[in-house]
Chain A
Amino acid sequence: MTSSAPLIEVRDIVKHFGSVIALNGVSLTVNSGEVLGLLGDNGAGKSTLIKTLCGVHKPTSGEIYIDGERVSFNSPRDAQVYGIATVYQDLAMIPLMSITRNFFMGQEPVKRWGPFRFIDLKSADKITHDEMMKIGIDVRDPGQAVGTLSGGERQTVAIARAVHFGAKVLILDEPTSALGVRQTSMVLKFVNRVRQQGVGVILITHNVRHAYAVGDRFTILNRGRTLGTYTKSEIEIDELQNLMAGGKELADLTEELGGTV
């Protein structure tokens, strides 16, 4: 990065759906090599914000800057061109297809031989194998179906694919919500590695512990507004939890039950 401008900056985004105000002035920034935990309870506006960032929705008002340049997206393709990649919870993977074919889906490496053009499967297999190796998954056979992978492995393949194809900002929508403990740690470990490569990550979750484990800064959404952004050193995990859930009630409940909710 030569400029000091953040990778992506969002200023006062407002999004109305008819009479429903889904977002009412949300701002956030993500720098290169940083993980921003975007926290919020159900209905806080996380999904709407993400869909706005990746070009699915157009904001009613507000601005989005990428590397300091003001942008507006008309489609998810536009956002991809600017290096914003989204890995959805329900994944963009096809279980019956091989890992390699999933990895390169839509962006297959094409080789020419006279008038014929075909997929360079050999190098595709090799790239897939190497990329998965970097994540720490030894795929002995990139030709095996994605359906045979675990949920965590599929999630990491999706992330690895996004990074390989030049994502600068990676939006992860609830990447750990459907995963077990070991698989969660696998995904979080990988998020950490992606960050070290200089990618900016927006990690959406309502699991504070997962966010706190890898996050550098945390933005809390509540009822369509930003409640504030805190760096890791400024805030304790319990405080973060309370802020996210609307504070007092949860604190009372915690006391009543004699443990952390």
Chain B
Amino acid sequence: MTASEGDVATVEQVVDERLMKKSLVTQVMRRPELGAVAGFVLVTLFFLLVASDQMFTLAGFMNFMSPAAQLGILAIGAAMLMVGGEFDLSVGSMVAFSGLVFGVALTVWELPLLLSILVAFVVAGAFGAFNGQIVLRTGLPSFIVTLAFLFILRGLSLVGLKWATGGSTQLRGIKDIAGEGWVTEIFSGDAFEGFFAWMAAQGWIDTFRSGLPKVSGVPVEVLWFIALSAVATWVLLRTQFGNWIFAAGGDANAARNSGVPVRRVKTILFIVTACCATLVAVLTVLDAGSTDARRGFQKEFEAIIAAVIGGCLLTGGYGSAVGAFFGAVIFGMVAIGLTYTQIDQDWYQVFLGGMLLLAVLFNNFIRRRMTGERS
């Protein structure tokens, strides 16, 4: 700047007396994940009152964190893409398709485990990029383009499975071929087993009569979920790319005028979302030892709902990964938590819809407050 510092002092200050002091409440209200955290607290309180004590033991905790993590990994990808202003309805089918690619690479092509995983990621990433290119080049809503891929990928998974197995829709024996090793350790089973055994020996955690801990470790998907949430949060809030994501989703035109490479940002987000689906595929397929065509069925909707509960606006440009994290945890708690209560589990779907509606209403209200009803 060329202006001298003296300038500052002489400038007449325009302080608008009608502007209210920013209270702590406003500060908190500004966080996109507020709704999800509030929901999390409510759901926790509800189960503390209603569910049996078993739910909040270490074992109960791992029980609901495991499905929460599987959904949450998808939700983090969905949330980032939504902040960037796009949807991907094909993530659920992508889980099945990536599972197929991974299974075929491992069992049919007999590639090493690590290479099979890489192949699955590359293929999924290519589909993600392709999705993105269609959306960006045609200007069609991503909603409809990825809806097409929801069916295409699900169908390809079925056809591919029958081709690979000679008629079955389930590909078995993956666990045996994968075998033991560090790659298997990273993508399946529990982590920190030694630490848990030690804690059991100290008498800090519950054990079976044999002295083995009831919870042998932290399921790896939970660690992946937490790590991914942390990385996504850092990227969104602290990096240049994160700022570009918000800008591309907030107003693609304005972002482009300011020099943000909107197309590249969105393409990368589509690829990231597809890779999140692949991660879930690898984790669950290795865990189950087989893959089938129904894997990830309707997960795209649950992932988007978790992202919305987490504060993502459907119009883009606003949301958070921390919110999506809590959104997914809420899902896990309710899905598993209901089995600890007398309540019929079919209430799950009612809850799902209700939560979504509440979240959207809440987000809408927040957005209006944020922008001071001016835009």
Contacts and interface: CB of A to CB of B under 8 A. Distances in A.
B104 to A, nearest CB: 35
B12 interface: yes
A140 B371 contact: no
B17 interface: no
Contacts of B367: 96
A95 B243 contact: no
Interface string B252-270: 0011011110000000000
B234 to A, nearest CB: 8
Nearest to B235: A118
B22 A93 contact: no
Interface string A90-101: 011111110001
Contacts of A107: 258-259
Given A119-B240, A136-B11, A197-B3, A94 B259 contact: no
Contacts of A144: 22, 30
A77 B259 contact: yes
B8 A130 contact: yes
Nearest to B11: A136
A50 to B, nearest CB: 14
A251 B192 CA distance: 88
Interface in A86-135: 88, 91-97, 101, 104-108, 110, 117-119, 121, 130-131, 133-135
A108 B370 contact: no
B371 A96 contact: yes
Given A130-B8, A136-B12, A94 B251 contact: yes
A246 interface: no
- Most chain B CB atoms below 10 A, which of A77, A95, A107: A95
A222 to B, nearest CB: 29
A152 B244 CA distance: 25
Given A95-B375, A148-B370, A138 B258 contact: no
A134 B238 contact: no
Contact of B22 (A91, A94, A119, A140): A140
A164 interface: yes
Nearest to B16: A150
Nearest to A148: B372
Contacts of B346: none
Contacts of A8: none
Contact of B254 (A92, A101, A138): A92
B374 A147 contact: yes
Contacts of B258: 92, 105-107
Nearest to A110: B240
Given A134-B11, A138-B14, A198-B2, A92 B375 contact: no
Nearest to A194: B3
Given A95-B250, A96-B317, A138 B15 contact: yes
A116 B22 CA distance: 33
B372 A97 contact: no
A21 interface: no
A76 B257 contact: yes
Given A107-B259, A118-B238, A95 B374 contact: yes
B57 to A, nearest CB: 38
Interface in B10-45: 11-15, 22, 30
Contacts of B372: 145, 147-148
B1 A147 contact: no
B243 A94 contact: no
Contacts of B22: 140-141, 144
B78 interface: no
A117 B238 CA distance: 9
Contacts of B243: 97, 101, 104-105, 108, 119
A14 to B, nearest CB: 26
B344 interface: no
A235 interface: no
A213 interface: no
Contacts of A101: 243, 246-247
A148 B366 CA distance: 13
Contact of B14 (A91, A137, A147, A198): A137
Contacts of B242: 119
Given A107-B259, A147-B375, A117 B254 contact: no
A186 interface: yes
Given A101-B243, A106-B255, A119-B239, A134 B374 contact: no
- Most chain B CB atoms below 10 A, which of A96, A107, A148, A186: A96
A97 B246 contact: yes
A126 B247 CA distance: 21
Given A95-B375, A106-B255, A110-B240, A134 B3 contact: yes
Top 8 A-B pairs, shortest CB-CB distance: A147-B371, A106-B259, A94-B250, A106-B258, A92-B257, A92-B254, A148-B372, A108-B240
22 contacts: A94-B246, A94-B251, A94-B255, A95-B374, A95-B375, A96-B246, A96-B370, A97-B243, A104-B243, A106-B247, A106-B258, A106-B260, A110-B240, A121-B238, A130-B8, A134-B3, A134-B8, A135-B11, A138-B14, A141-B22, A145-B30, A147-B374
Given A94-B317, A96-B367, A107-B259, 7 more contacts: A96-B317, A104-B243, A105-B260, A106-B255, A134-B3, A147-B370, A147-B371
